[in-house]
Amino acid sequence: MKTYTKNKQCVILFQLLQQNYRSPELESKLEEPCLRDYKYNKSFLIDGLLYHREKQTSSLTIIDAYCISFILQECHDCPYMRHMSEDRTKERVASTAWWPKWEQELSEYINTCGRFQK
């Protein structure tokens, strides 16, 4: 929970998932995309970590800027990845981590990659 305190929406989502009952008051404070994820049971907790479910895949929810930067770098820039296409990088990120607006941030990251623009 400690790392999620940097993001108000994650804190609310975390609290809702810890409860065994619905809380309309807390739910009303959720915004997209966390609200959608909560309504459609796409978020869940395991051992105090928040996960995001998409089809058959579950990935860790991260909100720390350093972690996001690290994931983007590892999934796109890492030497053994050889600057994959946006679609391939998207697949790798989706299977590893999730954060609000991750697809937008990924697209911006790739579009500013000097090697990818060549």
Sequential DSSP letters for 12-73: HHHHHHHSSS--HHHHTT--TTHHHHHHTT-EEEETTEEEEEETTEEEEE---HHHHHHHHI
pLDDT in tens, 38-77: 999 999 999 989 999 988 889 899 888 889 999 998 888 8
Place of tokens 């479910």: 53
Say if residue 106's pLDDT is above 90: yes
Taking the C-alpha atoms of 48, 16, 93 and 114 in order, what is their torsion angle to the nearest 10 degrees?
-110
The residue type found at 59 is S
Cβ contact 8:17 at 8 Å: no
The pLDDT value given to residue 52: 92
Percent of the chain's residues with pLDDT above 90: 35
Q: What is the SS3 assignment for 98?
A: strand
pTM, entire model: 0.77
The pLDDT value given to residue 81: 60
Say if residue 10's pLDDT is above 80: yes
pLDDT in tens, 29-49: 999 888 988 999 999 999 989
The pLDDT value given to residue 29: 95
**How would residue 103 be classed by pLDDT, with cut points 50, 70 and 90?**
very high
Partners of 61 in the β-ladder = 98
The pLDDT value given to residue 1: 58
